[in-house]
Amino acid sequence: MGQPVATGAEPVTPTVGKAMLNKYARAFFTRVLTPFAAFLIRRGVSPDTVTLLGTAGVVAGALVFYPMGEFFWGTVVITLFVFSDLVDGNMARQLGRTSRWGAFLDSTLDRVADGAIFGGFALWYAGDGNDNVLCAVSIFCLASGQVVSYTKARGESIGLPVAVNGLVERAERLVISLVAAGLAGLHKFGVPGIQYLLPVALWIVAVGSLVTLVQRVVTVRRESAEAEAAAAAQESENASQGSEAAK
């Protein structure tokens, strides 16, 4: 869930805020998790194993606790296993591996974990939560998150950089949803009114995901037109040079 791999696509330049957050958060968690990652390596545990176990934990936490309305404990369990996303990448770096298989497995299981989280919300609102609108919003968050990821992957697969910073990408979707769910779960501990944080968060994620999807589609359309124009210009130039050489 965090294993590095070389890629031919150009990296997207992050915004200043995201860059600073990523820089300091990565440095902090690297210091904290490196000894644990080294311990797992000494015990013969592979990064792929950590990825699989982490995903299984997230799925279990989301689909066992959330449909019962246990948002606090579900979020605690999910958060603990989400850290595997950092551990497996740390292990891969310590081992000096850049595995295409690891990157593929990581990205695929990320989608499974995301689907389980929003699926858990949908099951709650379809059941004891008794709110069809929020059930639909949760399903939209699930589906739009998958499509947002697909647009970038598909754009890169046809040779485009998809150089855009979306309004609400995967990290933002998870942070907003999990923080809101964890706090909303405090309602069962007697904190009044806090349960409304989760519906608000789901609407924010839904709207943000829609905006991000539009941003990526527009970017791919623009980059595609630019690439085709450049290819046509190059073809015209080659034809011109061939014509000059034939004279």
Q: 49 among the known binding-site residues?
A: yes
CA distance 151 to 217: 7
CA-wise closest residue to 173 among 122, 110, 125: 110
Q: 93 among the known binding-site residues?
A: yes
The type of residue at 162 is V
Q: 88 among the known binding-site residues?
A: yes
> Mind giving me the DSSP string for 195-234?
GGHHHHHHHHHHHHHHHHHHHHHHHHHHHHHHHHHHHHHH
Question: Is the CB of residue 185 less than 8 Å from the CB of residue 62?
Answer: no
Question: Is the CB of residue 34 less than 8 Å from the CB of residue 92?
Answer: no
CA distance 78 to 91: 20
Q: Has 114 been annotated as catalytic?
A: no
Q: 110 among the known binding-site residues?
A: yes
Q: 85 among the known binding-site residues?
A: yes
Catalytic residue among 110, 114, 128, 131: 110
Q: 131 among the known binding-site residues?
A: no
Q: 75 among the known binding-site residues?
A: no
Long-range contacts at 33-38 (CB < 8 A, ≥ 24 apart)? 33/83, 33/86, 33/87, 33/90, 34/90, 34/94, 36/87, 37/87, 37/90, 37/91, 37/94, 38/94
Q: Which residues are catalytic?
A: 110
Annotated binding site for Mg(2+): 85, 88, 106, 110
Annotated binding site for a CDP-1,2-diacyl-sn-glycerol: 48-51, 89, 93, 99
Annotated binding site: 48-51, 85, 88-89, 93, 99, 106, 110
